[in-house]
């Protein structure tokens, strides 16, 4: 019998690596592998399973919709997408929405809106200012908007993006010219290393956009839906974007994304954009239930409290573990900056002790548990990380 890893390497395009675990079941903040081992899940489907695994209300919503209507296309009116739109627009104070299926599609749509803004409101401008170390997805446009050159260079150049350092308003000002249409930025860079925006950065970008008639487009694919302690990360500073991209946490693991706009960003016209699956009754009804739980139970506040517990708990280990350089993040989007490139070995040692997590750089450990994680589970996780750090240091 071939192993799961052997089966995989025989059939898949080997475009990305995996952690050596085969997961078969989940419940709450825990998952189990095919050998019956239990893990605390600090990957959470890459910051997507914000309500944990098999949340009873999500399971119920899926069953209910499976017995009703899954997909009919956007040739027809359907109700769940309208109900979901109402909630997102009410919560964000924005005015228009388009549903798609993933984060890359959401940022891709935002990029189209930014470019159309340039075409129609900035005299044919096409360039979008993006940040070093950004991550916006893997489609051709979104990967070119991203910071990591290794992700885009194999596919040749694509024009239309100007990369500047993150957290540097002066660099943005210097990059603006008649060619500039919009700015696309994450409020906190997740894949790029959990790089938190400095206080005032987004406020300054909002000002720059207003001064120069540019669109401010925020990629909240990873930060949105309560992850950082507010429903949307821009609500920490109340800097409303013109366009916002959502995905990851929106569907509790069901693939859904959204492009949200205010009046300025509302410039798509009939024929400009479309989708077969986006906005279908299945994914939108699950996302609607997700948001209802998140709002009714004030999950963002829980994320803030548990995030505080996690960061201060790991900070308390700093004295004993010189491998910890510092801890950073917001809410439950947390990174441990290591003083050496021991991330992969540390991830393995942590996994052996019953917790799964990953590295976004060889020296940056990312911790993104479900937002519903309990106080006890956070304490367990801190204990595991403490123990794993000791084992690595030996
Ligand atoms: C994950 C991510 C994306 C891409 O989402 P996919 O669903 O993988 O296409 C885009 N932007 C950010 C900030 C992300 O974290």
| Residue nearest (by alpha carbon) to ligand 1 atom 6 | 103
Give the residue from 339, 385, 338 showing the smallest Cα distance to 364: 338
What pLDDT sits at residue 274?
96
The rounded Å distance from CA 3 to ligand 1 centre is 30
Instruction: Check whether 24 has a pLDDT greater than 90.
Output: yes
Give the residue from 299, 219, 298 showing the smallest Cα distance to 258: 219
**Catalytic site residue 135?**
yes
Give the residue-averaged pLDDT of 74-78: 97
What pLDDT sits at residue 17?
85
What token pair was written down for 18? Answer: 């995996």
Give the residue-averaged pLDDT of 9-15: 90
Write out pLDDT tens, residues 241-262: 999 999 999 999 999 999 999 9
Pocket test for ligand 1, best of 101, 107, 197, 252 (most atoms within 8 A of CB): 107
Collapse the DSSP code of 11 into the 3-class scheme (helix H, G, I; strand E, B; otherwise coil) and give the result: helix
What token pair was written down for 126? Answer: 């096409």
Collapse the DSSP code of 340 into the 3-class scheme (helix H, G, I; strand E, B; otherwise coil) and give the result: coil
**Catalytic site residue 161?**
no
The rounded Å distance from CA 240 to ligand 1 centre is 20
Task: State CA 254 to chain mean position distance.
Answer: 14
* Integer Cα distance of 230 and 386 in angstroms: 29
Give the residue from 191, 228, 134, 223 showing the smallest Cα distance to 364: 191
The rounded Å distance from CA 175 to ligand 1 centre is 25
| H, E, C per residue of 230-275 | CCCHHHHCCCCCCEEEECHHHHCCCCCEEEEECCCCCCCCCCCCCC
What pLDDT sits at residue 15?
87
Give the residue from 348, 360, 367, 354 showing the smallest Cα distance to 309: 367
Pocket test for ligand 1, best of 103, 144, 184 (most atoms within 8 A of CB): 103
41 and 381 Cβ atoms separated by less than 8 Å: no
Q: How confident is the model at residue 350 (pLDDT cuts 50, 70, 90)?
A: very high
Length of the chain: 394
Instruction: Using a pLDDT cut of 90, give the percent of the chain over it.
Output: 97
Report which DSSP code applies to 38.
Answer: E
Read off the pTM. Answer: 0.97
Give the residue-averaged pLDDT of 279-293: 98
Spot the catalytic one: 98, 135, 161, 282: 135
What pLDDT sits at residue 78?
98
Q: How confident is the model at residue 323 (pLDDT cuts 50, 70, 90)?
A: very high
Instruction: Check whether 394 has a pLDDT greater than 80.
Output: no
């Amino acid at each position: 019998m071939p192993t799961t890893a052997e089966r995989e390497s025989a059939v898949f395009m080997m475009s990305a690596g995996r952690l050596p675990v085969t997961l078969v079941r989940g419940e709450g903040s825990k998952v189990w592998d095919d050998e019956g081992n239990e893990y605390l899940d600090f990957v959470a489907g890459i910051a997507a399973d914000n309500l944990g695994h098999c949340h009873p209300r999500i399971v119920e919503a899926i069953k209910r919709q499976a017995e009703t209507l899954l997909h009919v296309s956007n040739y027809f009116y359907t109700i769940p997408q309208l109900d979901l739109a109402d909630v997102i627009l009410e919560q964000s104070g924005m005015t228009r929405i388009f549903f798609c299926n993933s984060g890359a599609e959401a940022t891709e749509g935002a990029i189209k809106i930014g470019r159309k803004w340039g075409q129609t409101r900035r005299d044919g401008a096409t360039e979008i200012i993006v940040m070093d170390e950004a991550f916006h997805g893997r489609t051709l446009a979104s990967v070119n908007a991203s910071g990591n050159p290794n992700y885009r260079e194999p596919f040749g150049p694509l024009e239309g993006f100007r990369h500047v350092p993150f957290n540097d308003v002066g660099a943005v000002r210097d990059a603006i010219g008649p060619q500039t249409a919009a700015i696309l930025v994450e409020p906190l860079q997740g894949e790029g290393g959990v790089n938190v925006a400095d206080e005032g950065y987004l406020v300054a970008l909002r000002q720059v956009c207003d001064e120069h008639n540019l669109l401010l487009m925020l990629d909240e694919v990873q930060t949105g839906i309560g992850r950082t302690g507010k429903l949307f990360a821009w609500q920490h500073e109340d800097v409303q974007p013109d366009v916002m991209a959502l995905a990851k946490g929106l569907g509790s693991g069901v693939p859904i994304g959204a492009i949200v706009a205010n009046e300025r960003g509302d410039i798509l016209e009939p024929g400009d954009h479309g989708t077969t699956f986006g906005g279908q009754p299945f994914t939108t009804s699950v996302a609607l239930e997700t948001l209802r739980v998140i709002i009714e139970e004030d999950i963002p506040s829980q994320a803030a409290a548990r995030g505080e517990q996690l960061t201060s708990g790991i900070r308390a280990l700093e004295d004993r573990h010189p491998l910890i350089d510092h801890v950073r993040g917001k809410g439950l989007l947390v990174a441990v900056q290591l003083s050496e490139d021991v991330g992969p070995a540390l991830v393995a040692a942590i996994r052996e002790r019953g917790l799964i997590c990953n590295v976004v750089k060889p020296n940056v450990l990312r911790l993104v548990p479900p937002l519903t994680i309990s106080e006890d589970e956070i304490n367990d996780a801190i204990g595991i990380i403490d123990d794993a750090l000791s084992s690595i240091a030996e």
